[in-house]
Homo-oligomer: A and B are copies of this chain.
Amino acid sequence: MKKVAEAFRERNNFLIMAHINPEGDSIGSQLAVRHILETLGKSVAIAGQDVVPENLKFLPGTQEITRDVPEDFHPETLIILDCPVLERVGRIRGAFDEEHFILNIDHHVSNEYFGDVNWVESDASSVGEMIFGLARELGIKIKEELAVSIYTAIVTDTGMFNYDNTSQRTHEVAGELISLGVNPRLMHGEIFEKKTIPEIKLLGKALTTLRMDGDEKIAYINLTREMYREEGIENISTDTFINFPRSIKGVEVALFFKENKERPLKINVSFRSSGGVDVNAVASCFGGGGHPRAAGCVLDMPLAEAQEKVLAEVRKALKK
């Protein structure tokens, strides 16, 4: 951290980047770092390959995140946040040659230390939590705008303080942020409660398809293109759907089968495990992957056939 603080003080032009498909930690920590550098009087921009998710647009400053490096901006230093490998920044990576000075700030245990300075804390809940410490190290007065960005990073990466990465330090930082003006109810409302009508209706339809298998240790739901058509829409965010079959008492593996938009139809499968089954291994049987407790794959076959094949593999894994 001290080397990062030194670079923040000594260097002048910074471009901040995080990973493709950004979420609360990457957006929140990018905004927080920009705020710190601006407070230090530095020249700074944020660029990201993909758009800011709808639920994070309330954060002050997101409208200034550009999809490309601004043409008249020539950064000497690249700050890469929340990326275990440099390729995770996506297309924008191509705008820079090898000679740029890179500050790699991350909390993934798998980080590949690709930077000129590498600050990696794998026991931090989020990059946002790390940036809070950096702001203190640099003697920055943390105002509400900065506090809100860091709080967003923490609550999205910890699922409201309930994942394994939530530590005593995480709570201490969240508590300090509240004392600095963060309103937890309003923040929760902005980040987690801005659903659309079709999201709620399609969630309802998906939940009515709930079926059990493997002695009620497997719960699965599905979402078909027909359901989308009934609601007259093309696409919605379905990230949280898998949480519902997972939340059933006694369930060890939850599955969510979704017909995707492509023609011919393909089936996206999401897996969640309570810990007994390694769903990364199961998903990899179908060319997918992920983590032991959360994984995914895509199957090029009709829904019923995909369900049959995946269920057979999960049943096998349960018997081990």
Contacts and interface: CB of A to CB of B under 8 A. Distances in A.
A175 B161 CA distance: 10
B207 A204 contact: yes
Interface size bracket, A side: 35 or more
A210 B197 contact: yes
Given A184-B163, A192-B247, A207 B210 contact: no
A201 B207 contact: yes
B175 A171 contact: yes
A184 B170 CA distance: 12
Contact of A161 (B169, B184, B200): B184
A7 interface: no
Interface string A15-46: 00000000000000000000000000000000
Contacts of A171: 171-172, 174-175, 178
A303 interface: no
A104 to B, nearest CB: 28
A164 interface: yes
A255 to B, nearest CB: 14
B201 A210 contact: yes
A198 B161 CA distance: 28
A207 to B, nearest CB: 3
Interface in A235-285: 244-249, 274
A160 B160 contact: yes
Contacts of A219: 197, 200
A320 interface: no
A249 B197 CA distance: 8
> Of A205, A207, A244, A245, which is in contact with the most chain B CB atoms at under 10 Å from its CB?
A207
A200 B248 contact: yes
Given A168-B178, A207-B204, A210-B204, A248 B161 contact: no
B162 A248 contact: no
A201 B212 CA distance: 12
Nearest to A199: B248
Contact of A248 (B160, B197, B209, B216): B197
Interface in A155-201: 160-164, 166-172, 174-176, 178-179, 183-185, 187-189, 192-197, 200-201
Contacts of A188: 162
B175 A162 contact: no
A63 interface: no
Contacts of A249: 193-196
23 contacts: A162-B184, A162-B185, A166-B178, A166-B184, A167-B175, A168-B176, A168-B179, A170-B175, A171-B178, A172-B172, A172-B175, A175-B175, A189-B274, A196-B248, A197-B216, A197-B219, A197-B248, A200-B207, A200-B245, A201-B210, A203-B204, A203-B244, A204-B208
